[in-house]
Amino acid sequence: MTVTPGPPPARTTVGIVGAGPAGLLLARLLHLAGVDCVVLESRSRGYVERRQRAGILEQGTVDALRAAGAGERLDREGMPHDGVELRWGGRRHRVDFPSLTGGRRVWVYAQTEVVKDLVALQLNEGPPLLFDSPVSAVTGAGTGRPLVRYTRGGREHTLACDWVVGCDGFHGVTRRGVPDGALSTFERTYPYSWLGVLADVAPSHHELVYAHSPRGFALLSMRSPAVSRLYLQVPDGTDPSAWTDGRIWDELDARLAVDGDWSLARGPITQRSVLPMRSVVTEPMRWGRVLLAGDAAHIVPPTGAKGLNLAASDVVVLARAFGQLARTGSTAGLDAYSDTCLRRVWRAEHFSWFMTTTLHTAPGQSAFDTRLQLSQLERIAASPHAAAELAENYAGGPVG
Ligand code: RFL
Ligand code: PHB
């Protein structure tokens, strides 16, 4: 059942645009706080549940999902990880999270699974979640009564809201409802992309492996004990179908190679896609009664595994603020929302940029720049302080 029965809702307290992790977790947390909301999603349930994206959850994200009642399958099937391995020049170095961060760790649990868990909860017991309902515009951001215009079943509808939260990702429409000049955008692009593949083969290492190599970056990740997720740095504009399975495995082999005993197990590649790398921050994350959360407000390159975690952290802060408003009438939390989130966002932007530029080889990169990268990797291996800096950022701090 993907369609909420009855006539489409015409008014709500919080209109949420987008049913990615940000919109779904926000709806669930609002429901638990007794704040009513409606979620409008342009795509079908099947599409949203199959979209292959992130795979690493920080402890704070896991805690938020548990608090939302979405931790049951995550606790059963999620894989706690206590470290990552860095490789360069034939060497390998493990960064241990708990010993460097006072006990923090991360979890491997795919974004697709998080989305499935949240969708099931929402459709069973939550406020309305409408798939196949694209929003065309959000108007009245500066008034006390913003409106969301959307299409459903071939007809135009309007949802009157007290507040609208744009959780509609990087290409969403909510941001466009804010007057020109009210928001500032800060951005950086990178001269390479990632080719990401899913393969039906047990991961060749029990933790994630981030590899620097003269041939470019490679990452070994996983989705389950039987499914590997692997990434290769490729030139922008790469057509994923131009890479045969054999070429992908050969390249992964060459980039992940270490001195000594280790080999990469191969298996059937079941999915592949190319993703561009960029860093973008929109400030502030609120204008009038319209707020932005997750990728709608900021994008990070995936090397730091932060995108999904930032989305979760934004909506935890936001749900707390709406709860405060409902209980006490105070907008203090909503007034502080943007500043509170942007502190974490900029930390994650810096870390994601650091991981990206330390591990990738840019086209035409000078030998000097490569030496700097290698020196940084040696420093992480030699100094617990440098390793702790990486570990603290990767494992993330408490949300809020
Ligand atoms: P999402 O997940 O993009 O969800 C936004 C939702 O809004 C819907 N939408 C609309 N709905 C109604 N009306 C409209 N006009 C709408 N316009 C858009 C969309 O259909 C969608 O369902 O954003 P959210 O919730 O903020 O979550 C953020 C995370 O998804 C994101 O940060 C990460 O997945 C980033 N990311 C990756 N991170 C990793 O760590 N590893 C990865 O491998 C990885 N792969 C990716 C990614 C992001 C990608 N994007 C956004 C292009 C691969 C891709 C392709
Ligand atoms: C993933 O498993 O998809 C993944 C893991 C770590 C990253 C990026 C992606 O840094």
Q: Are 391 and 304 members of one domain?
A: no
Tens-place pLDDT, residues 181-220: 999 999 999 999 999 999 999 999 999 999 999 999 999 9
239 by Cβ neighbours in 10 Å (0-12 / 13-18 / 19+) ranks as exposed
78 lines ligand 1 (CB under 6 A): no
Kindly write down the DSSP assignment for every residue of 341-373, as one continuous string.
HHHHHHHHHHHHHHHHHHH---TT--HHHHHHH
22 lines ligand 1 (CB under 6 A): yes
Distances 182 to 40, 179, 200, 343 between C-alpha atoms, Å: 25, 6, 48, 20
Q: Are 195 and 162 members of one domain?
A: no
Number of domains in the chain: 2
C-alpha 191/C-alpha 26 separation (Å) is: 34
For the question of residue 109 being annotated catalytic, the response is: no
Question: From the CA of 304, how far away is ligand 2's center (Å)?
Answer: 8
Q: With 80 as the cut, is the pLDDT of residue 259 above it?
A: yes
How many residues are recorded in the chain?
400
**What is residue 89's DSSP assignment?**
T
pLDDT at 127: 82
Q: Are 172 and 220 members of one domain?
A: no
pLDDT at 154: 94
Tens-place pLDDT, residues 124-160: 987 899 999 999 999 998 888 899 999 999 999 999 9
Q: Pick the catalytic residue from 150, 192, 210, 231.
A: 210
Q: Are 75 and 219 members of one domain?
A: no
pLDDT at 38: 97
Q: With 80 as the cut, is the pLDDT of residue 2 above it?
A: no
Identity of the residue numbered 289: R
C-alpha 263/C-alpha 249 separation (Å) is: 11
102 three-state secondary structure = coil
pLDDT at 5: 55
291-296 mean pLDDT: 98
Q: Are 160 and 52 members of one domain?
A: yes
366 by Cβ neighbours in 10 Å (0-12 / 13-18 / 19+) ranks as exposed
pLDDT at 1: 37
User: Which-ligand-closest: CA of 173?
Assistant: 1
382 three-state secondary structure = helix
Q: Are 284 and 263 members of one domain?
A: no
Q: Are 269 and 163 members of one domain?
A: no
Mean pLDDT of the chain: 95
For the question of residue 394 being annotated catalytic, the response is: yes
Q: Are 68 and 145 members of one domain?
A: yes
For the question of residue 116 being annotated catalytic, the response is: no
pLDDT > 70 in the chain, percent = 98
Residues whose CB falls within 8 Å of the CB of residue 225, separated by 6 or more in sequence, listed in order: 79, 202, 203
Q: With 50 as the cut, is the pLDDT of residue 318 above it?
A: yes
C-alpha 209/C-alpha 129 separation (Å) is: 38
Full domain range(s) for residue 266: 188-277+361-395
- From 264, 272, 187, select the one nearest 232 (Cα to Cα): 272
Residues whose CB falls within 8 Å of the CB of residue 34, separated by 6 or more in sequence, listed in order: 323, 326
Q: Are 117 and 49 members of one domain?
A: yes
Residue 148 lies in a domain: yes
C-alpha 179/C-alpha 324 separation (Å) is: 28
Residue 54 lies in a domain: yes
For the question of residue 240 being annotated catalytic, the response is: no
Give residue ranges with CB within 6 A of ligand 2.
54-56, 208, 221, 229, 302-303, 305
- The H or E element containing residue 212 is strand 208-212
276 three-state secondary structure = strand
- From 25, 299, 336, 45, select the one nearest 172 (Cα to Cα): 299
- From 13, 54, 130, 26, select the one nearest 309 (Cα to Cα): 54
**Are 312 and 399 in contact, with CB atoms under 8 Å apart?**
yes
pLDDT at 3: 46
Residue 200 lies in a domain: yes
Q: Are 214 and 261 members of one domain?
A: yes
154 three-state secondary structure = coil
* CATH number of the domain encompassing residue 172: 3.50.50.60
pLDDT at 143: 85
Q: With 50 as the cut, is the pLDDT of residue 395 above it?
A: yes
